[in-house]
Structures are given as C-alpha cells and as structure tokens.
Structure 1
C-alpha cells in the first residue's frame, strides 16, 4: 500500500506555497520502537554542547 504526501507552507495572509510536489511514499511495515528522542541538531543546541 502506498500513500501520497505534499509539503506546503501557508503564510499569515493565507497564501500557499508548495515546498515539495505530491509524491508517493511507502509507509514502514513496523516502526522502530524507542523511548529515546534524537539529539537536537539546531544551531542553538549544537553551539551549547561542551567541547571535549
């Protein structure tokens, strides 16, 4: 079974801009089970990691 996904942005005036055209995706048969979230990779968090 496949699904479709389309990514778009909506600005404050209600204008729509397509970021990624509609495409078919295949869902996972079984997702990985974990209670651990991945490390944040944003510039703010990356800068605050102490260097060794």
Structure 2
C-alpha cells in the first residue's frame, strides 16, 4: 500500500498513441483533459482482469 504519500491538488490525463509499443516510436498525443481537482481522500482502487 502507498502510505504517507502526498497527492497533488489537481491532475491532467494525457493519452498517447505509438506505432511501436516496445520502443514508443511514433509517439503522439491524441487526447488530454483539463486539470481535475482531486478529492482529499481517494477510494480504494483494484486492478485486475476478467476471465471469460
């Protein structure tokens, strides 16, 4: 777990597309967001996969 981590007040998300995922060749910005205010506490986040 990440304990005692100070989060920024705002975040921006950027989405990039590449021609080669191994080398990032051809990297280009395809989308971004405005700055978004973060809440003081974030809910738990679980990353996983779904099996068919």
On whether the aligned pair clears a TM of 0.5, the verdict is no
Question: Which structure has the bigger radius of gyration?
Answer: 1
TM-score, normalised with respect to structure 2: 0.41
Structure with bigger helix share is 1
TM-score normalised over the length of structure 1: 0.41
More strand by share: 1
